[in-house]
Structures are given as C-alpha cells and as structure tokens.
Structure 1
Amino acid sequence: MTQLPYRAVVLDIEGTTTPITFVYDVLFPYARERVAEFLSNNLDNPEVQRDLELLREQAQEDAAGDFPNAPQVPADAAGNALVEAAVTNIHWQMDADRKTTALKSLQGKIWKDGYAAGTLVASVYPDVFDALEHWQSLELPAYIYSSGSIAAQKLLFGHTEKGDLRPQLAGYFDTTTGPKKNAQSYLDIAHLIHQAPEDVVFVTDNLDEANAAADAGMQTRIALRPGNAPLPEHDHPTLTSFDALFEA
C-alpha cells in the first residue's frame, strides 16, 4: 500500500465535507425561523443565559469597533424585551454571515432540537463517507475544524444520510481554539493532536484559511465542490473529491 504523505487530516465542513446549500438553504433558515421561540422557551436555561451574555459582550465589542450600528442587547433587558433585542442582533449577525461564538452556540442548540426531532438530516458528500472509512482502516486520525460550534459539528456528523459518522472522527475544533484565518490556530491544533504541522493536511474551500494553515506549515488542499464560490489564482493543490487524498 502506498504510504500517504500525511499523518493526520483536518477538515473544514461548509463547502468541503458538506454542500454549501445545506448550510445556507437548510441550517441557517431553520435557526433563523426558530430563534425567537427557542429563546422564549429557554430563557431560564443557564447555558442559554451564558450565550446571551456572550451575545451582549459581542454586541458591545462590535459597536466599539468596526460595527458602530450593531444592535445591542441591554443588560437590563428581560423577558420579551430581552428576546426581541437578542433576535434583532442574531438576525443582524446572520445577515452579515458572522461567525461569532455566541451566535454559533445558539444556532447549535436550535439545530440539536431539529436533529432530535428528525426534521433535520445532515447532507455530506458521498466521497466523505468512503474517505472516513479508509482513514479509520489506516488508523489515521481525521479531525474537524469549523466556525460552527463543536456541539453543532457533532450533531451534523451524528445525523447524516448514512447515519452516525462520529466514531470515524478523532476530534473537533471550533473558533474557541482560534480564528480560522489565523496561522496560530493551526499551530495550536497541530500541538493538540500531537503532530508536526508538516505532517497534517488541511482541506477547506476557503483561500484565507488555506493560506493561514500553509503559513503554519501544514499541507493544504482547496476543495472545489459544486456551488462553491470561485477563487482567485493561488498555489494550493485542489481536489474535487477526497479520493485525491489517497493518490500517490
């Protein structure tokens, strides 16, 4: 068997393992339509309260920085007023395609209810199933690094068209590890998975992320999937299927 030129794999989700259409046409609208009801029903939940505090802090940080018109979540708001302020901020963040920790955490909780009810089933490219099985047979660890929360990642891979893929994944990373466009985040991931950066291959559809991973010393692949945005010229190897990761 040909020896693979890497010892671990780190995968993006959106546009890499999962069609962008599932994220933007299914997951995001699902959370947007249900966030007000979810908050109203869960205001007393300590985890939701922590998310709302993070949302409040993020709104203040945004207003003091690059987003002076960011909708605020007043500290003295309660009940319906709190829900209304939070929903306004969440919808504003979603319209701007923000990737903040508070937003992703709340979205993940809403998706959890949808997966549990069977109203959400995650879409994953067919070659991903085969690749995960192959890596597992080689005892080569595969990890996920996404802007979506770790909880949301586990929900997605736990509820796919082919069932639960979580046993085939070695671990998960999100923005709590660091921004995806920051080279230090990839150095930290390599350290946490006990691999030299040059022995790790990172697959993403995002050029800025690939550049950051390459700056950290990782191998990179740009995923060219149907529906992905066109990219400017770059020096990263590309793939249209994970099958390419097993070629000599």
Structure 2
Amino acid sequence: MLALPEVRTRRRSHPELFRGRNDPAQYDDLAGEWWRPRGAFAALHWLAAARADLVPPADRPGAVLVDLGCGAGLLAPHLAGKGYHHIGVDLGASALTQAARHGVTAVRGDVLRVPLADGCADVVTAGEILEHVTDLARAVGEACRLLRTGGLLVIDTLAATAAARFLAVTVAERVPGGPPRGIHDPVLFVDRAALVRECAAHGVRLRLRGLRPCLTDSVRWLAGRTDHVRMRPTRSTAVLFQAVGRRG
C-alpha cells in the first residue's frame, strides 16, 4: 500500500489515475490524444466516419448541423463538401479549441441545456454522448428541440445490456484501440426502448441498427498496417448501435 504522502504526490503528477468513471475531466487529461489516429480515441475516429455516412448532403444553402458532444471535432473531416455549417457543442474547453481549428463553430455548453435556438438545425448528431449523460430524457428532448421540421437526428451509443457492459468496459478498456480506462460508466448505458420512446414523444421515429468494427481492418490495425477501421452494420443492437430518424 502507498504511504499517504506518496499517494498525494501521485495525485498531483497523475490526476488521471484517480478519476472516477465518466468524469469529464478525463478528456482534458487526454487532450493530446484526440487527433492521434492510433491514440486513446482511435475508435472515435472510426465511429465519426460511420456517423457521417448517415448524413446526406445539405439540401439547402446555409444548412446547419449541430454536433452534440463534438469533442475535438472528429466529425468535421467526414462532412467536408456536404454543405453544412458545422456547430459543435461540448463542455470541454480544450477539446473545443481543437474543434475550432478544424472548422467547427465551437459552442461551450451542456447537452442537457444546449445554448442554441429551437429549430435551428437541419441535422443533429449525438455521437457517443448519450451513454455519458445522467438524464436521457432531457438530452433527447434537447436534441429534438434543435431540429427543424423534417430535420434528421443521427445517434450512435452503447446499449444498456450485459453484453455491452462486458464488451465495452471489461474487454474494450483493456485492448489497444479501445476506450480509455474509466471513460464509461455502464450504469448510464442507453435503454434502447426508452430512447425510441423518448424520441417518438418529440416527433422523431427512430430506426436502429447495430454496429461493429470490421474484423479484417481490426487485425490490420492491431498489426500497425492501417490507421483506420471501418465500421460494419449488424442486425444486433445489443452492444453498439446507431439510430436515425426525422422530425415530423
């Protein structure tokens, strides 16, 4: 066991070792990792590409895409040429600084209280954020509030299942390319039926599909032969899933 003075010294020099699960301060601790293709947030790059595949080109001049939980703006390169004004909302100042460097209009705010007007967005994305919020209903309400009539909601998140808890936490936090230790609290993983129900209450009917890494790409990534892993759709939504719907 560490003596108390040594514990205090390690807290000062390595605060990330003592963060609780789902502590937003972890993202500041790892600020230098966002844009490293083989860094701590590697999988978020793969997911950003899969999320962007669900976003069609803008259908009008001045179209707005609001990126909830935008982090350092990893979605931005995948939206290039699609014609959107990309607004990113996040709590992390260090991440938003990086997002702005990649062409994102950075807005510091909580996804439970988004400081943007009703109906301002043609598209709202909520990528890998709903499994971090303490009030799913409120987060969904905010996402839907931002959508204009006919606007598109795109979500990817982790399901509230034993399989997701095991694979996304017990396994993934221990393998290269997986999420950093403690970044998720499995208690907050998303009840799929509740998500569908909450979106429907705001006029958005969701379609769900599962998502998994391409196995061939994963092997090549682990061998250092590629920096990107493609995500593949699956029938099962029991671990990682995408959800898409339009506001009626």
- TM-score, shorter chain, exceeding 0.5: no
TM tier, shorter chain?
Answer: 0.3 to 0.5
Instruction: Indicate the structure with greater helix content.
Output: 1
Instruction: Indicate the structure with greater strand content.
Output: 2
Larger radius of gyration: 1
TM-score normalised over the length of structure 1: 0.41
- Bigger relative CO (Cα 8 Å, ≥ 6 apart): 1
TM-score normalised over the length of structure 2: 0.41
